Structure 1
Amino acid sequence: MQDQILRALHAGQSARALALAQGWVAQAPEQPGRWHLLGLACDAAGQADAAIAAWTRMQQQLAAQGRAPLPPQSATAQGWPTMAERAPDARRVVLVWGAPGSAVDRLAAVMEPVRDHFSADRFGDSPPDDGFQDPALVAGLTDGTLDPAQVAARWWATLPRRGLVEGTVADWLPWWDNALLHVLRPYLPEATLVIALRDPRDMLLDWLAYGAAAAFAPDSPQAAADWLAVSLGQVVTLGEAQLFPHRILRTDAIGHDPAAATAQINQLFSTDLAAPAHLGPPRLPAGHWRQYAEALAEPFATLAPVAMRLGYPAD
C-alpha cells in the first residue's frame, strides 16, 4: 500500500493518493509511518491543515514510543573561557551539526563513504559513550559541575574505537548548544563547527513531516518552533560575537541534487568525493513553507525574527 501511495503521489494523482492513505491509516492508526504518508497526501491535495494534523499525530506517536524529548538549551549570555591557540601540528577536527529539518542528513550522505574520517555512529545502534552524545552536558557545563577538560579528553579517547585514528576527523553531532563552547574554546581550538542551515520555516515544516536523524519528537508544532528559534538564535550569536571558528552551509538550494550537496562538501574539505546516486527520499521543496502560512501562522511568527536575522525574507 505504501508503494501505491508513493506512486500515486509521484504521478500527480493527489486524489487517489489521499484516498489510499486515508484507508491505510484507518487500518492501523497506531503506526506513525502511516500518518506521515497521509500528511504527504494531504499536502499534495492542497490540504495544509489536514497535513499538519497528520504529521502532529505522527510526532506524538513517536514521542510515546520513546523518542527523546527536545534537548535542554542554555541561556545566550555566558562568560566564555579564553580561546586557546591552535597547535600548528594539531589534527583537523570538524564538528558537523544541523538542527532538525536543516538537511544535514543530505550532506552526511555525501560524507558517509569516507568512514576513516567521517563518523555518523552517533545516530546508530552503538553511539560513542562521550559527553557530546548526552544533552545533559548542557546543565553540567553551565553550572560548573562538569570539568570541560575531562569532557574533551573523553571525546579524544573514544576516537580510536570509532575508527577515527588519524588525519582529519569529522564528527556528526546529534545536537548543539553554545554551552559546548566551554569545552571547545579552551580544549578543542583545532575544531571547526560546520552548521547546516536553511530557512527556519522550511526547517520546521521538514521536521514535522519527516522527523530528524536525531530522535527528538516535539509535543506540538509550536513547541518545535519555540525550540528551533532558541537554537538558531544561538547560531546567530555564535556568528555575531565570533565565539568559535565555524562555517555555515546553506542547504536551501541543494534540494535532491547529489551534485550540489557534493560540491559543498568538496569545497569545505578540499576533497574530490564522487556524488552519491541519491540523497535519500525526496523532501518538500525550498520555500514550501509559504503553502502553510495560515496552518502554521503562530509557529512561523515565532521563527520570523530569527529567519530575518539569518538573512531570509520576512514572508
Structure 2
Amino acid sequence: MLQPILEALSSADFDTAVSTAREMIERYPEMADAYHLLAVAEGSLGQFESALTHVDRAISLAPDNSAFHVTRGALLARHSSADAARGALQEAVSVDPNAFLAYVSLAHLAIARGDFSDAQQQTARAARIDPDATDVLILQGIDAQSQGNLDTASTLFSAAVNQAPQSALAQARLGLCFLAQGRHAFAEQSLRNALAIQPDNVSLRRALIRALAEQGRPTEALPELDYLVSHLPNDPGLLEMRAGLLMEMGRAADAANDFIALLELVPDQPQAIVRAVQAYCILGRQADAAALLEQRLAKQPTSDELWSLRLGIEKPDVRVAAEVTERWHAASPDSAGANEAMAQLAELRGQSAQAEAHADKALASEPQRGAAQLVKLRAELRNAPDAARARTRRLVDQATQSEARRVSLHWHGLALDRCERFSDASTCWQEMWTHNQSALPLPLSRPVNGNAPDPGATSPALFVWTLPGSPSEELIPALSHNDSHVLMPDRYSRVSRLDGLDPFRQVPQQGPALGSYAAWRAAIEVLGQDPQHIIDWLPHWDLALNEQFPGSQVIALVRDPRDLLLNWLAFGCPQTYGCNDVLVAAMWLQQVLAPLLALREQHPERVLLLRGEHVTTDRKDTLERISRFASVRFNDGALNARSITYSSGRMRSGFDPGHWQAYAQVLAEPFAQLNALAEQLGYSEAA
C-alpha cells in the first residue's frame, strides 16, 4: 500500500509523495506509516512545521516504532534545536536498543558539537549492530580524519563510496578528505559526484572551487562561483571570492563590478573599501577611487586607514599627494600615520629638521612605524654614518623573522657603504638575498620560434624596459604625463594582465596563445584601451617577444652595467628578480642586453637606449628624445613629475653613477663579465 509513496520519495518527487501520502491518510486515518512518510516528504520540501506535526502524529499512533523517533530527531537537527534532536533520538534508542539509524544520527550530532568522544561511543554502538554499514564507515572515517589520520580516513571513505556510490555524504567526505591531503584532482571528482546528487549544497560547491583553484584552473572555477552568486546574490563572501578570482584572471573590469557590489552590501567593511579602491585603480579609474574615499572621509575624517588609502592613490603625483598629506595631518594632528606621512613629505621638500620632528612624534606613540624609522635612519646616513651603522646593527641583531632581517641587512649594508667598508657592505647584501623569500628566478631569454604573426595584422607597440639596477623611478612617473599614450604599469602591481608577456604570470586560458600579439591586444582592449596608444612597461624583453611584435619600439633604461649590477645587489629591482648569485646575475645582464644591442644595430629606429644618469640630470632632453623616437606628446607635468615614494633619495634604486668603482676589487669577477658590455654601451672599461 505504501509502495507509491516510497517510489516517489526514492525518485525525489517529493510533491507527488506528499499528495499520495495525504490520499492514503484520508483512506486510512490511523495508518502511522503514512503519516511518517508524509513527514519525510514535507521535510525534504522544507516544510518543517507540518512535517513535525505529522511525525508526532505517527509517533502517537505507534510510539514503539524507533524509525519515527529517528525521523523526528533528523527534522529537529535540520531545522530546530540540536538538544531537542538528541532527545528525540535517545527516545528512539530507549524504544529500540537496536535502532541503528538513531546511533548514526547521535554520532553526527556529537561531531557537529565537537564531542568526538561521544561520537566514538555512538559509532561503536552502531557498529555492533551492522559493522559493515556505509554509515559506520563514514563515521569511522570522520573520526580518523579528526585525529589527523588522513590516509586511514580516505581508505574508509573510499570503501563507503564503493559500497554506496549514490551516497552524497560518502562522496562529499571523500572529496573533503582528498582536499585535506592535497590530492586536488581526486577531490574535484568526488566533490562533483556529491554535487550531482546534491546540486544545491553551497559548502560542497565552495570546496569544489577551492579544488579547481589549487589546480590552477580559474576558468573552470568561475562558472561554479557564478552558479553560487546567482543563487545567493547577497552573500558578501561569495562576491569577494569571485572578485578575487576575476582579478587573478586579469578581468579587472568584472572584478571591479563585484567589489563595488560588495561595498554596497557591507559599506563599512574596511576590506571591501580596500578592494574596491584597488579595482578602480587597476582600471585606471583613480578619480572614482578618490571620490569613493572622499565620501567615506566626509563621514570618518579621522580614519587613518581611509587617509592612507587616499594618499596611496596620489603617490605618483607629488603635488596632490602633498595636499592629501597636509589634509590628513590637519584632520588628525596627533595621528602616528599622519605624522609619519608628514615626515616623508618634509624630507621630500628638503626640510630635514621638520622631517625628524614629525618622525619623532610618530615614533613616540608607535615605535614600530617603519617609514618614520627610515626617515630617522636616512638622516643619520646623510649626517652621521657611524650612528647609522650602529642603529642598523641593532636592527639586524633584533630581527628574528626572515623578512625583517632582509630589510635590516639592506640598510646595514648602506650604512657600511657610507662608512666606506665596501667589502663588509657587499657581504651584507649577499646575506640579505638569502632571506628574500619572494625573489623570482632570473627569466630565461627565449629565442625566436618561427610563430611570428603577419606584420600586416599587427599594429605598432611601444614598450619600456627598465633593466634591474636602473633608475626606473626617474623615468616612469614622467612617462605617465602625456596626452597621446596611456602608461600601463600594471605588470608591477599585485594583479596584472595575464597575456603571457610576464614570464612568471602564466595562467592557462581560452583564446589566443599566451605571449602572442593577439593575447596582448585582447588583454588591453578588455581594459578599454587602444593598443596603438599605450606605453607598456615590461618586466622582461627577449627575441621571442620581439618576434611577436614585428613593428614594436622599445625604450630601454640602462646604466653602466657594473652600476646596474651593484644597484641590483644592494637595492633589488621592481621586477623582484633575485640577485642571489652576483656572478650569475652579471652573466644574465650580458645575455639579455646582447640581443637588444644587436636589434639596435640592425634597426636603430626600433630601439632607444636611455642612460639612467642622463634621465636623472637632464629630464628635458630625455623627454625630447622619447618624443622624437615614438611620437609621445608630453604635457607640462612631465618635466617635474616625481614619485613621492622614490624622490629625494627616500627610497632610491641605486647609487650615484660610477659608484661601482668603489667595489672594483670586491666584485672583480662579476664586473669582469660586464666590461665588454660596458664598452658597447659607451662606458669606460676600466675603473
The TM-score range, normalised by the shorter chain, is 0.7 to 0.9
Report whether the alignment pairs 1:302 with 2:670: no
Structure 1 or 2: more helix by fraction: 2
Deviations 1:200-223 (A, max 9, x none): 011111111111110111222112
- The aligned amino acid for 1:206 is N
Q: Given that residues 410 and 571 in structure 2 are in contact (C-alpha distance below 8 angstroms), is that contact kept between their aligned partners in structure 1? A: yes
1:211 to 568, 572, 578: 572
- Residue 287 in structure 1 maps to residue 650 in structure 2: no
- Distance in 2 (CA, whole Å) between partners of 1:71 and 1:150 is 14
Higher-Rg structure is 2
Instruction: Indicate the residue corresponding to 2:323 in structure 1.
Output: none
1:177-209 Cα shifts (integer Å, max 9, x gaps) = 122222122xxx2x2111112110111111111
Cα distance between partner residues in 2 of 1:8 and 1:304: 35
Letter in 1 for 2:438: G
In the alignment, is the contact (CA less than 8 A) between 1:15 and 1:45 conserved in 2?
yes
Q: Check conservation: 1:211, 1:217, Cα contact below 8 A.
A: yes
Deviation at 1:257, TM superposition (A): 7.1
Amino acid at match of 2:664: A
Deviation at 1:92, TM superposition (A): 5.0
Cα pair 2:452 2:547 within 8 Å, conserved:
no
Deviation of residue 99 (structure 1)? 1.6
Q: How far apart are the structure 2 equivalents of 1:252 and 1:80?
A: 38
Match of 1:97 among 458, 465, 470: 465
- 1:66 paired residue among 429, 438, 450: 438
1:249 to 597, 606, 610: 610
Q: Percent identity?
A: 27
Cα distance change on mapping 1:136 and 1:119 into 2, 3 Å? closer
Partner of 1:144: none
1:181 paired residue among 546, 560, 580: 546
Check whether the contact 1:92–1:168 (CA below 8 A) recurs between aligned residues: no
| RMSD between superposed Cα atoms in Å | 3.0
8 Å contact from structure 2 (residues 501, 514) kept in 1: no
SS in 1 for 2:615: coil
Distance change (3 Å), C-alpha of 1:61 and 1:263: farther
User: Which structure 1 residue ranges, 5 or more long, are not aligned?
Assistant: 138-146
SS of equivalent to 2:614: coil
Shift of 1:264: 5.4
Q: Secondary structure at the match of 2:491?
A: helix
Tell me the amino acid that sits aligned with residue 130 of structure 1: D
CA distance, structure 2, for counterparts of residue 251 and residue 163 of structure 1: 32
> 1:248/1:151 Cα in 2 relative to 1: closer, same or farther (>3 Å)?
same
- C-alpha distance in 2 between matches for 1:84 and 1:207: 38
Q: How does 1:77-116 map to 2 (within 5 A)?
A: 93-112=461-480
Question: Counterpart in 1 of 2:424?
Answer: 50
Change (3 A) 1:66 1:307: same
Superposed displacement of residue 122, structure 1? 0.3
Larger strand share, 1 or 2: 1
2:635 maps to amino acid = D
What whole-Å deviation, never above 9, does each CA across 1:147-177 have from its counterpart, x for those lacking one?
9898111110001233423651110001111
Matching of residues 4-83 of structure 1 within 5 Å:
4-11=376-383, 13-28=384-399, 30=402, 31=404, 32-62=406-436, 65-74=437-446
Distance 2:682 2:450 in 1: 26
One-letter amino acid of the structure 2 residue matched with residue 2 of structure 1? L
1:282-307 CA-to-partner distances (Å, cap 9, x unmatched) read 43101111111111111110111111
Q: 1:298 to 1:273 in 2, by over 3 A?
A: farther
2:634 corresponds to which residue? Answer: 271
**Under a length normalisation based on structure 2, what TM-score does the superposition of the two structures give?**
0.40
Displacement after TM superposition at 1:52 (Å): 1.1
How far off its partner does 1:73 sit? 2.2
Alignment match of 1:120 (pick from 489, 497, 503): 489
Task: Give the 3-state SS of the residue equivalent to 1:286 in structure 2.
Answer: coil
SS at 2:424's partner residue? helix
The 1:114–1:277 alpha-carbon spacing in structure 2 relative to 1, beyond 3 Å, is closer
TM superposition shift of 1:259? 5.9
Deviations 1:47-76 (A, max 9, x none): 1111111211222222xx13210001246x
**8 A contact 1:255–1:286 mirrored in 2:** no
- The code of the aligned residue for 1:101 comes to G
SS of the aligned residue for 1:285 comes to coil
Matched letter for residue 571 of structure 2: Y
Deviation at 1:81, TM superposition (A): 8.0
Structure 1 contact 202–289 (Cα < 8 Å) conserved: yes
**Alpha-carbon distance in 2 for matches of 1:127, 1:150:** 14
Q: In 2, distance between residues paired with 1:129 and 1:292?
A: 39
Asked whether the 8 Å contact 1:92–1:169 carries over to 2, the reply is no
SS at match of 1:35: helix
2:521 touches 2:531 (CA, 8 Å); kept in 1?
A: no
Of 558, 561, 570, the residue aligned with 1:197 is 558
| Cα distance in 2 between the residues matched to 1:257 and 1:34 | 34
- Whether contact under 8 Å (2:513, 2:519) holds in the other structure is no
Deviation of residue 85 (structure 1)? 5.6
Deviations 1:71-97 (Å, cap 9, x if unpaired)? 01246xx6878896678xx86521111
Query: How far apart in 1 are the matches of 2:531 and 2:663?
Result: 47
Q: Does the 8 Å CA contact 1:36/1:209 hold for their aligned counterparts?
A: yes
CA contact (8 A) 2:414 2:425 kept: yes
For 1:25, the aligned partner's letter is V
**Secondary structure at the residue paired with 1:194?**
strand
RCO higher in 1 or 2 (8 Å CA, sep ≥ 6)?
1
